[in-house]
Chain A
């Protein structure tokens, strides 16, 4: 995690981030998602101009990655084995709000197996574990912000909230851009899944377009023939002001 591992031909950007649109993101207090009731701050957030503490952030080098880190079908499987389920590629780009690819972004994902079961001791769903599926993967974006994972499509699963609430099939994403203020965790959903619009967690988001922005499109052109279908999922991080005129003193 040193500066030398940062993509060499990019000048680091130091401009302040665009303000976060809090009407686009889910609010903290969403009573239909019951756990949020006791875990949502109730006082207004204190607005703060970005300082170096928010403009900077850790950068991760490719040296942290193992060869199978972005292949969930094989990264936990025994020798000669592979995870069970519909094989898919999940690919796309990490962009910022200006449409510029974010190079060197660390993506970490986790998901249930094809039956909808997580490998976690708190998980109680009766669907079985797959001995060859761990459920985590990670990768770092290339120069143009592109990334790719291979995995199995996760199953939907029931969860304790309402008497009969089910999560749509989804993959959790954690993303590091270049500034700590860009830190983001979200979820990817699958085109055409009727469970999306019934889910209280999805519906913590008020704007339909924001939900559509988390829904990956099936892309048959990007399929690996006789191996895996493809879903395209672009992720957008906060943009930065690029200052054509120096109008503010940064630091000392």
Chain B
């Protein structure tokens, strides 16, 4: 026998189910008067620094239909590439930018639209710069553990080409599943859960 390591196990994940909105965006489903506003609905304020953009996200199932009951969260750096988090020790983030957004997909169209700013570049752990990106987390009925992916920007070809995370994707044709094309001020990011265009998801 040896001494035990006395570690605990992470609580096992369970699906967010069909009623995730009740807990996380109650005002969206008409439960008003409990919270003033749904958390994560507004990422930017008037004084937020950086280029204003919109990000349109859909989550598409194996039959090709967009999920109308999904919940999407995004996490990103500010315009200077700093995260609004105590664990980012490199400096103070823009106080007028939360860096975190949460939206339900529309119950008719399956789309959600984040109003945010384009993030700056953040260093990889070895110091190389990553291309600007959003971290995206998806939960829904039928998803047993939240899915992590990233969205990169279609108009950042040079930065994307040298991004250490994108470079790690062996099947090069799959890189495009993480890059959202730009149309005006809107980036359109379709996340495919299955199929020919299955999005790259991360075990982080």
Contact = CB atoms under 8 A, between A and B. Distances in A.
Contacts of B165: 48, 51
Contacts of A25: 10, 12-13, 144-145
Name the prevailing secondary structure of the A interface residues: loop
A180 B75 contact: yes
A183 B8 contact: no
Contacts of A120: 18-19, 21-22, 29
Contacts of A48: 165, 168, 202-204
Interface string B73-86: 10101000001111
Contacts of B75: 53, 56-58, 180
Given A41-B194, A57-B87, A135-B31, A51 B122 contact: yes
Interface string A132-166: 00111010000000000000000000000000000
A49 B125 contact: yes
Given A108-B23, A178-B86, A172 B194 contact: no
B24 interface: yes
Contact of A236 (B11, B63, B98, B198): B11
Nearest to A248: B125
Interface of B: 6-24, 26, 29-31, 33-36, 39, 61-63, 67, 69, 73, 75, 77, 83-90, 92, 95, 98-100, 122-127, 129-130, 133, 135, 137, 139-148, 150, 165, 168-169, 193-194, 198-204
Interface stretch (A1-9, A82-90, A222-230): A1-9
Name the prevailing secondary structure of the B interface residues: loop
Interface of A: 1-3, 6, 12-14, 17, 20-22, 24-28, 30, 33, 35-43, 45-60, 64, 66, 69, 75-76, 95-99, 108-110, 118-123, 134-136, 138, 172, 174, 178-181, 183-187, 201-202, 204-205, 207, 209-211, 213-214, 235-239, 248-252
A179 B63 contact: no
A169 B67 CA distance: 26
